[in-house]
Chains A and B, each alone.
Chain A
């Protein structure tokens, strides 16, 4: 959220310089990595595409309008992904803060959470790609529906729909066990 403030400064100028590019990297590199990881769960491919995306932006830096650059990053990354990705099964391997920040009352409860974690990651991996991306952008990157809609170039209604579908699917998977 703090990101938008830094962008407004550039609004008057067309094109970005090296300094603005560095700020761009600082602000958006991780969320672009996340976006690609949500699609494929492959860290190598994710890094490749994130690098390529920012390199492309660097190469066309003179023609960029700073106020639309964030959505442009998503578009480029998405296109590169379509070109490079060979459809493999998605298997998410995410870390959870609960394991590093918390001690548990009982080992049984810890086991229960571990199992929940595994089921949830498996269920997330099994989601339809579009629904998964929206769900995780909202949950992990803390983006609002409006932000997600702007970044992906879709309507807020579409974001709501995907979010709803993701939750329904996850709930049906989880309810079987919990």
Chain B
């Protein structure tokens, strides 16, 4: 036998056996051994899909009409003033306000998912030739294969040698997680290469590498899921300020650490989860201010 049943296991095929087959048998049996070339591994495809799933798409018809209006408006503007031609050379900026996420494609087809309160700048015209962008805040990238892809932040530079990763750069914190492929991170003249499941963070001025984190736990903000492990309450409140566009202030949470998960919950549910075990209480004022204080029995 050439192949057994459904399984594509080849038993040694001799010339004698092959010659004994009719042409139809040769075709049928040989064709069962084919496999199909793929652009990505199944895991990579799933990562890509999950990233897209997190972003609600607008109904197509509506957006198409808007594009026509914009196109009309844009052409009128171009005719009236050629000063605007210079605007083309200005870097493109994409911003998210607090409480807002966005997703967009770069000129080379790479995809960016921008977390709340973040900013990306790049040169629209030359991006395809030179893939460089500046990031403030946090973003997840699905990078198309091709020339080196550089992400510059105030604390360090990320060079992508693969396909998907998360970059966090706010205040003093700089952290990069790799989901697929390979990433090179440089800061202060030191560099680290990280592979899937690894992340590197800037600590006291040097990059420290961590491994063993499940890829599924990384960059979960895209799905509204947050994991905190021994994280200062101050940074958790910072994150909540960005996600819900509120101000959080008060006392009793300095130098304290929290471990826990949140997924697509309301602000008061999350605050309950944090405050209760920490012996804290909160009150929400004017819908957008949160005062935290020590619970006194």
Interface residues, chain A, with chain B CB atoms under 8 Å away: 1, 22, 25, 29-30, 33-34, 37, 43-44, 46-47, 50-51, 54-55, 58-59, 93-98, 101-103, 105-106, 109, 112-113, 116-117, 120, 124, 135-136, 139-140, 142, 167, 170-171, 174-175, 178
Cα A137 to Cα B282 with chains together (Å)? 60
> Interface on B for A, CB 8 Å cutoff?
6, 8-10, 12-15, 18, 23-24, 26-28, 30-40, 42, 45-46, 48-49, 52-53, 57
B32/A140 in contact, CB under 8 A: yes
Chain A residue numbers with a CB within 8 Å of B23 are 171, 174-175, 178
Which residue from B12, B13, B30 sits with its C-beta under 8 Å from A117? B30
Given A94-B36, A97-B35, A55-B52 contact (CB < 8 Å): yes
Compute how far the CA of A58 lies from the CA of B57 in the bound complex, rounded to whole angstroms: 11
Can you list 15 A-B contacts with CB-CB less than 8 angstroms, sorted by A residue number?
A29-B46, A47-B38, A51-B45, A96-B30, A96-B34, A96-B35, A97-B33, A101-B9, A103-B12, A109-B18, A116-B30, A120-B27, A135-B31, A139-B34, A167-B28
- Residue of A whose beta carbon sits closest to that of B13: A102
Q: Known interface pairs A54-B49, A97-B10. Does A120 touch B42 (Cβ–Cβ under 8 Å)? A: no
In the bound complex, CA of A13 to CA of B33 (Å): 38
Question: Given the known A-B contacts A98-B13, A101-B10, A167-B28, are A46 and B52 also in contact in the complex, defined by CB atoms under 8 Å?
Answer: no
| Residues on B with beta carbons closer than 8 Å to the beta carbon of A140 | 31-32, 34-36
Residues of A within 8 A of B40 (CB): 47
Q: Which residues of A contact B36 (CB under 8 A)?
A: 33-34, 37, 94, 140
